[in-house]
Chains A and B, each alone.
Chain A
Amino acid sequence: MKARVMWGEMRRYWRPFTLVVMTALLLMWQLVFGSHSFTLGKGTDGAIAYDLSVEYAQRFGETIDPDERAEVAADYEKARAALNEQYEKYMGQFDIHTKEDYHLLSGAVAYMGSHTPDEWQEEEIVQEAADRWGADNLAELEETCTQIFWDKIPYEIAHREQILEGILGWAESVDEWEQFVASLPTLDRASLEKRTLRWEIANEFSPSAERRITQVMQSNDGNLSLLECVYDAGESFQGHYQFWAALTFLLCGLIVLPLPVGNRVSRVTPMQYSTHTGRRVIFAQLGGALLNTLLVNAGVDGFFTVIYFLREKNTLHLWHCPMNLCSYPDILWLDLTFGPFVWLTYGKALALSLGLTGVLFVLSHLSKNYLPALAVSVPTVILFIKLSYEIDYMLNIQLYPSFAYPLALLLPAAVSAAAIAAFVKRARKADYVD
């Protein structure tokens, strides 16, 4: 099979109409799902948490005295007041003036969602909320306020209050504070400064700095307060990326599906089969489809990555943090740092989209017209999107044995390879009937 034939087949998948639809979908996706990188995305939380932790550790050192504790408390009160100002500004009209008011409302609605109406009456938080805002109004009001929270209240203000609340908790006792400081990648101010500097160097992907950082974390049993944020960043990335992985599958379908069935409809297939290349053209078409799948993945991942990292500034900061050492030790079963975690997520989408391409290629070839091709392909794409979600669930929640993840990836690949092999064997020997 000559490269010229392969290149010709690969190029043929790209029709002007397909390109227009793909670009439109890409932009539409960003418009519709782009904001989820913020609501789901807590990648910056970690950076803020880390920066604030380092800041306070540097300010007070390993020990904390009552005056210093009072300083932390005062800072927290300021942060709390700033946050409450935001609640007053945007939710005051709904009789929600403080963080506590909002938590009362959201707590009541959460309870109502998980309990029967009979139980509501016995729950104090629900009664209090009902007395204040009206029993019939709670869910709707909570939804409105949550939307306002994410849309209006600056994330930094909300999060600063939350982090300072945590730091104040550490500052409650000398022992706790020592533990807090020890959990940072330093034991004293000078070292902290040096190691903070190392983190900055690590951000520039200096291999030697990476090694040092890893050593530092290992020497501290990985007990770093910023590791929680690594998990958050991972969760954010994973949640946001799901939408983009779904787009990858859609685009692969959009590229692969029309050509084989289109060749049949426009009667090009018998023309191809009667040439020197003959039915081996299937291999060129399949190769072209798979190469295009790689291109689509690179394009979508590239676009997504740029958007994500532009939005979630400092996410690279977390690149080398081990994810399994965060404060959710039972959640992640893979011993990964955030960087490989990202690659794994990309790899999963790539593996699944290659499998999907193979299946769609066969389905398209076997279809005699566009409508039947669509009828079988749409559920297939949906199935792969669902599968992608399930695999992520396996990755993040330890409910399955560890072999389930590679198995879940291998299964579609095996099905795809088997479908292709059976199809090619049949297509190369069977009669071509219009």
Chain B
Amino acid sequence: MLEIKNVSKSFKDFNVLKDVNLTFDKGVYGLLSPNGAGKTTLIKMIVTLLHPDSGDILWNGENIASLDGSYRELVGYLPQKFGYYRDDSPTQFLTYMAALNGVDTAVAKERCQKLLERVGLGDVTHKKMKKFSGGMIQRVGIANALMNDPQIVIFDEPTAGLDPMERVRFRHILAELGKTKIVILSTHIVSDIENIADQVVMIKDHEIYACDTIEAILKDHNADNLETAFMNIYGGEALEDAI
């Protein structure tokens, strides 16, 4: 179980997140808000790239800062902008990242092949990534996030660059992962999470506005779909973002 307790974060004088309290257990969590609300900051704190100014993030009751590497090896992370070595093939890059994650070489090779096939890149495993399209790179990123067989999988805006077919494939992967792992999916695209999220976390004015099932959120906001609820909650803020 991943718990976020009274976490706040600011950059200089700007409060990005204020007193965040969340608890994640197995399942798919949609992290939804307009751009700039603090989704990425929250995710970066969960993956230890940023440190909370106050509050704690706990994994099974232990502070993730003290767990250090033994916590991070449980985390799979696809950042908003996936970083990779252009001259590497997907296989080279994934096995390299697996080495950093402490995954055994033989296991990494086997897992790498399976995951690349799973994301539809089974026929280009040894091709240099500099020749890949944006969608293909994103799929390598998805495979990378799963290479260490993580307990917590975090995707930050994962569907950028994916074509409709790939989005469907990705949703299937997410749904399957959500059965056994904590999956946190950060997006500002409502349709990305509408069909697959068990719970939706909404951030408004840098605070947690809601953390509930889609049905409960729809009921609370008297809406028949998540997009309408989203517009009701964020109103002009979301519209401005859309424009």
Find chain A residues with CB under 8 A from B122 CB.
Answer: none
Assembled-state Cα–Cα distance A433/B99 (Å): 24
Find chain A residues with CB under 8 A from B81 CB.
Answer: 267
- Taking the complex as formed, is B242 at the interface, i.e. its CB lies under 8 A from any CB of chain A? no
Q: Which of A46-54, A224-232, A269-277 contacts B (4 or more CB under 8 A)?
A: A269-277
Residues of B72-115 contacting chain A, CB below 8 A: 72-73, 75, 77, 79, 81-87, 96-97, 99-102, 105
| Interface 1/0 per residue, A419-431 and B, CB below 8 Å | 0000000000101
Find chain B residues with CB under 8 A from A2 CB.
Answer: 99, 102
Assembled-state Cα–Cα distance A267/B97 (Å): 13
- Taking the complex as formed, is A74 at the interface, i.e. its CB lies under 8 A from any CB of chain B? no
Assembled-state Cα–Cα distance A324/B13 (Å): 66
- Taking the complex as formed, is B48 at the interface, i.e. its CB lies under 8 A from any CB of chain A? yes
Q: A2-B102, A8-B96, A270-B49 are in contact. Are A276 and B72 (CB under 8 A)?
A: yes
Find chain A residues with CB under 8 A from B73 CB.
Answer: 275-276
Find chain B residues with CB under 8 A from A269 CB.
Answer: 83
Q: What is the distance, in angstroms, from B50's C-beta to the closest C-beta of chain A? A: 5
- Taking the complex as formed, is A166 at the interface, i.e. its CB lies under 8 A from any CB of chain B? no
Find chain B residues with CB under 8 A from A274 CB.
Answer: 47-49, 72, 75, 77, 79
Find chain A residues with CB under 8 A from B77 CB.
Answer: 271, 274
Assembled-state Cα–Cα distance A272/B11 (Å): 23
- Taking the complex as formed, is A15 at the interface, i.e. its CB lies under 8 A from any CB of chain B? yes
Assembled-state Cα–Cα distance A267/B82 (Å): 7
* 26 A-B contact pairs sorted by A residue (CB < 8 Å): A2-B99, A4-B105, A8-B99, A8-B100, A16-B87, A263-B83, A266-B83, A266-B84, A266-B85, A267-B83, A268-B84, A271-B79, A273-B49, A275-B97, A275-B100, A276-B69, A276-B73, A276-B100, A277-B69, A277-B100, A278-B48, A278-B68, A281-B100, A431-B49, A432-B44, A433-B50
- Taking the complex as formed, is B148 at the interface, i.e. its CB lies under 8 A from any CB of chain A? yes
Residues of B207-221 contacting chain A, CB below 8 A: none
Residues of A1-33 contacting chain B, CB below 8 A: 2, 4-5, 8, 12, 15-16
- Taking the complex as formed, is B204 at the interface, i.e. its CB lies under 8 A from any CB of chain A? no
* Contact indicator A267/B100 (Cβ below 8 Å): no
On A, residues with C-beta under 8 Å from B are 2, 4-5, 8, 12, 15-16, 263, 266-278, 280-281, 429, 431-433
* Contact indicator B100/A272 (Cβ below 8 Å): yes
* Contact indicator B51/A431 (Cβ below 8 Å): yes
Assembled-state Cα–Cα distance A274/B49 (Å): 7
Q: What is the distance, in angstroms, from A338's C-beta to the closest C-beta of chain B? A: 45
* Contact indicator A275/B51 (Cβ below 8 Å): no
**Additional 4 contacts, C-beta under 8 A, given A266-B83, A269-B83:** A8-B96, A270-B83, A274-B48, A275-B97
Q: Which residue of A lies closest to B75 (CB)?
A: A274
Find chain A residues with CB under 8 A from B69 CB.
Answer: 276-278, 280
* Contact indicator B99/A431 (Cβ below 8 Å): no
Assembled-state Cα–Cα distance A12/B82 (Å): 19
Find chain B residues with CB under 8 A from A280 CB.
Answer: 69
Give the contacting residue for A271; candidates B50, B87, B97; CB below 8 A.
B97
Q: A266-B84, A267-B81, A270-B83 are in contact. Are A277 and B101 (CB under 8 A)?
A: yes
Q: Which residue of A lies closest to B49 (CB)?
A: A432
* Contact indicator A266/B75 (Cβ below 8 Å): no
Assembled-state Cα–Cα distance A272/B144 (Å): 12
* Contact indicator A432/B50 (Cβ below 8 Å): yes
Assembled-state Cα–Cα distance A277/B102 (Å): 7
